[in-house]
Structure 1
């Protein structure tokens, strides 16, 4: 167990317990083609409503134009650290099917794809940090996203570096104890607010 392993009520798979979202990435690390395709395949095989697969991804490795455009779309607080990641990936959801009908839950399905990508990153010894702090319109314009596709997130992926490389305010967050709301306040049984009997 690493110092960042989640303290769960009962054991869960190590890929889930040990997954976390760092900000300190190794600026010298690169992601090879096989690793990249492995990440993308994990996302591609996510479940979706009626197998609609509403997700689309914009992928940039550090040093490539797409990476820079994705980086430029980030809010200033994320630009403080995300530029050291090996890879930036924007997730977008198609709001309508090919026949023009409204999709059922495209953001939900795309979130599942990003989750699978994040877990696969951890399985490869990498780390992923999903970000909602970005300018969706800037991303849309700079990368030629057509109408009907909604940018949802940008994920930084790379190899972990020391927290000491971060500015002090980010360093404290990087090393803080990981926390989650208790099971009893999140999962309900007979009705809203009524905890499941098994939830501590």
Structure 2
């Protein structure tokens, strides 16, 4: 597995004094723009804020309680939106898939630039619509925090404890099947 994937994790312990350049944020957003898209729809849109600008302040204002304690320490916050069409289930589904692909590429691009990216669902989508004039037919789906990791000793105990937890995933034989559901696709590989 590529080190950008194996080394990726969603930290909360960001350095509140670290900054990110306009060029780096633009590169991260551009990585999302170039993500695969179903039927060339290109439904994904971005609301971008860097620390100390009005957009960033408004984005911190839509955070829910769990994320409000750490996400304002990010150097940038990016609200990722996609089209919403409840009358067309296929288009609605693939717009969400496109959004996920864009966020995934943005996370890896942030990692490649030496930053950490943390996707969040913990924000008030209606407040986002109001704050940014997001039109009908657009769905705020993911808020992405991007930051530089802080020195662990400088973090509040609760954030440090969460960041120090080992990163784990279910074993491959529990998620990848062949033939029948539950039959491991790769039985010859060790289960770790």
Asked if Structure 1 and Structure 2 have the same fold, meaning a TM-score greater than 0.5 normalized by the shorter chain, the answer is: yes
CA displacement at 1:129 relative to structure 2: 0.6
Cα distance in 2 for residues equivalent to 1:88 and 1:33: 12
SS in 2 for 1:73: coil
The residue that corresponds to 2:31 in the other structure is: 42
The residue that corresponds to 1:180 in the other structure is: 169
Instruction: Calculate the TM-score normalised by the size of structure 1.
Output: 0.88
CA displacement at 1:69 relative to structure 2: 1.2
Write the deviation string for residues 57-81 of structure 1: whole angstroms up to 9, x where unpaired. 1000011111111111111121111
Write the deviation string for residues 148-168 of structure 1: whole angstroms up to 9, x where unpaired. 111111011011112333332
Cα distance in 2 for residues equivalent to 1:32 and 1:65: 16
Segment of structure 1 superposing worse, 117-126 or 68-77: 68-77
Matched, 1:190 2:182: no
Cα distance in 2 for residues equivalent to 1:69 and 1:81: 15
Write the deviation string for residues 147-192 of structure 1: whole angstroms up to 9, x where unpaired. 1111111011011112333332222111011111110111111111
Which among 4, 9, 17 is matched to residue 28 of structure 1? 17
SS in 2 for 1:119: helix
Number of corresponding residues: 186
Which among 6, 9, 23 is matched to residue 17 of structure 1? 6
Contact kept in structure 1, 2:48 and 2:76, CA below 8 Å:
yes
Segment of structure 1 superposing worse, 167-176 or 59-68: 167-176
Higher helix share: 2
Cα distance in 2 for residues equivalent to 1:111 and 1:94: 13
Cα distance in 1 for residues equivalent to 2:55 and 2:177: 43
SS in 1 for 2:46: strand
Write the deviation string for residues 13-41 of structure 1: whole angstroms up to 9, x where unpaired. 01111111111111122111221221111
* 1:1-200 mapped onto 2 (5 Å cutoff): 12-96=1-85, 103=91, 105-196=94-185, 197-199=187-189, 200=191
Contact kept in structure 1, 2:51 and 2:74, CA below 8 Å:
yes
Contact kept in structure 2, 1:29 and 1:86, CA below 8 Å:
yes
Structure 2 unaligned spans of 5+? none
Contact kept in structure 2, 1:54 and 1:95, CA below 8 Å:
no
